[in-house]
Every structure is written in C-alpha cells, then in structure tokens.
C-alpha cells in the first residue's frame, strides 16, 4: 500500500509565526486531504487537494503530485491552530480507501 | 446539514461484553467508512461501504469485529466479545461521489474503554 510520511512530527511555534508542514507519499495519488484534529479530538477538513494550490484564510496547501509531496502552510499562527495535522492519501480511480500519515503535532504558545 | 452523527460518544464496558457503535452518514453520501485511532497505530481504516455494500474490510482486526449497513442512513460496528486492546476512539466518516474520489467528513468519534 501507499506509504505516507509527515514532517516534522512535532512543532512548537510562538503565536504569530509561520510554519510549513510536509507530507510525502510513496506512490501516485488521486485523492489527498489535509485534516486538523483539535485538542477535543474532532477531525476537521482543511483541504481536498490531489494537485495544485488552494488557500483558505491563513491556511494554504500545495500538492505536487508528480514529485509525491504536499505542503500545508500556516501563516500568523494562533493558539487555536494547536492540535495534530494529518494528511490522508489514496489512489483514487474509484477506490476510496485512504491512508493517513502519522501527523504533525503543533503547539502554538502565546 | 447535521454532519456525520455517531453514538454513543463514550462507552465503558467490561471485557467480554458486546459493544455496538452507531453511525448516521451525511444525507446523500454513498460512501461510509469506519476508522479506529490509537496512540500506537494512529488512524486505521477498518472497513468501508459503497451504497450499503462492504467494499474493503481488510482492516477489520479479527472475527470479533463486524460491521453492517442495513440502509443508506445507518451503520453499526459491533465488537463481540470486547477486549481491553479494543480500547480506542472509533470514527465514522462519509463521502459522496460514485467512482470519483471525494473528501471524507468525520463524525465526532466514540471513545471506547474496555476494562
């Protein structure tokens, strides 16, 4: 199956700082999502981005499918950004199974 | 839209008891997924359904686990008999789009503790 690797595993930021989270995957994908798991455990959709670039407020994501990686950018971080960020990837083509990475645990301190 | 609904939110049971977790997907979604999250293994897909039919159950850990989807708006995950190593958070998710990958939306999860 597809292998998914996320880096860094842990990240501590001062409020207001910017950060880049990376997701590498081992095979071509047609399905890639980024999620934020908040401190209460809820998994929140951030982006569905099998290719290209998307932006939503202070967050943006870029996937370069040919080079098998995706990046999540967080600008002007806030304490509410704390939690774990997961990417999930799948082959698509009508097969909906996705594999989750191990996540990046982000802590934003005031 | 109410989102994916799961019940119960918390379940504490004794080893050997039967546990039933419930999920109501988002209306109109034709894919339903059951995941398990633990510290050791992260988020694992257990099984998923398309139009109420199980498509891939390769993640179901053993015969003690079973899942059903009797109709488009309801699914259950049953563990019988339960064991302490089944303690985890179980998530249900749903997505739309037959044949086309679409983003999955997760429920709030059920935190299961087996003592």
Indicate the residue of B33, B56, B103 with minimum beta-carbon distance to A48: B103
Could A96 and B31 be called an inter-chain contact, meaning their C-beta atoms sit closer than 8 Å?
yes
Query: How far is Cα A6 from Cα A100, in angstroms, rounded to an integer?
Result: 10
Using a pLDDT cut of 90, give the percent of chain A over it.
Answer: 86
**Residue B98 pLDDT > 80:** no
Q: What is the pLDDT of residue A93?
A: 66
Q: CA-CA distances (angstroms) from residue A26 to A81, A82, B33, B45, B102?
A: 28, 28, 23, 18, 21
| A36 SS3 class | strand
Residue B45 phi/psi, 5-degree rounding, is -80, 130
**Residue B87 pLDDT > 90:** yes
Could B104 and A33 be called an inter-chain contact, meaning their C-beta atoms sit closer than 8 Å?
yes
DSSP 8-state class, residue A104? E
Could A90 and B101 be called an inter-chain contact, meaning their C-beta atoms sit closer than 8 Å?
yes
List chain B residues with CB under 8 Å of A84. Answer: none
What average pLDDT does the segment A47-68 reach?
Answer: 96
Query: How far is Cα B82 from Cα B60, in angstroms, rounded to an integer?
Result: 14
Res. B2 pLDDT band, cuts 50 70 90? confident
Query: How far is Cα A98 from Cα B46, in angstroms, rounded to an integer?
Result: 11
List chain B residues with CB under 8 Å of A42. Answer: 106, 108-109
The nearest CA of chain A is from the CA of B83 a distance in Å of 23
Tokens 């995957």 found at: A25
Residue B28 phi/psi, 5-degree rounding, is 95, -15
Tokens 């249900």 found at: B92
Q: What is the pLDDT of residue B103?
A: 87
Q: What is the pLDDT of residue B102?
A: 75
Q: What is the pLDDT of residue B73?
A: 95
**Residue A32 pLDDT > 80:** yes
Q: What is the pLDDT of residue B16?
A: 97
Write the pLDDT tens digit of every residue in A1-13.
889 999 999 999 9
Q: Is the peptide bond before B8 cis (omega within 30 degrees of 0)?
A: yes
């Amino acid at each position: 199956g597809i292998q998914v690797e996320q880096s860094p595993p842990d990240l501590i930021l001062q409020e207001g700082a910017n950060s880049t989270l990376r997701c590498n995957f081992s095979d071509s994908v047609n399905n890639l999502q980024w999620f934020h798991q908040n401190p209460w455990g809820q998994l929140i959709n951030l982006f569905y981005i099998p290719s290209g670039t998307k932006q939503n407020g202070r967050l943006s994501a870029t996937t370069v499918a040919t080079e098998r990686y995706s990046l999540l950018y967080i600008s002007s971080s806030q304490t509410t950004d704390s939690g774990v960020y997961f990417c999930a990837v799948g082959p698509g083509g009508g097969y909906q199974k996705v594999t989750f990475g191990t996540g990046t645990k982000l802590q934003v301190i005031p | 839209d109410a989102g994916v609904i799961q019940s119960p939110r918390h379940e504490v049971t004794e080893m050997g008891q039967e546990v039933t977790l419930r999920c109501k997907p988002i209306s109109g979604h034709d894919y339903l997924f059951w995941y398990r999250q633990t510290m050791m293994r992260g988020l694992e897909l257990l099984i998923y359904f398309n139009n109420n039919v199980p498509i891939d159950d390769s993640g179901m850990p053993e015969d003690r686990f079973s899942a059903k989807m009797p109709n488009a708006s309801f699914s259950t995950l049953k563990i019988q008999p339960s064991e302490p190593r089944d303690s985890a958070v179980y998530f249900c998710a749903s997505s739309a789009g037959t044949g086309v990958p679409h983003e999955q939306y997760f429920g709030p999860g059920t935190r299961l503790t087996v003592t």
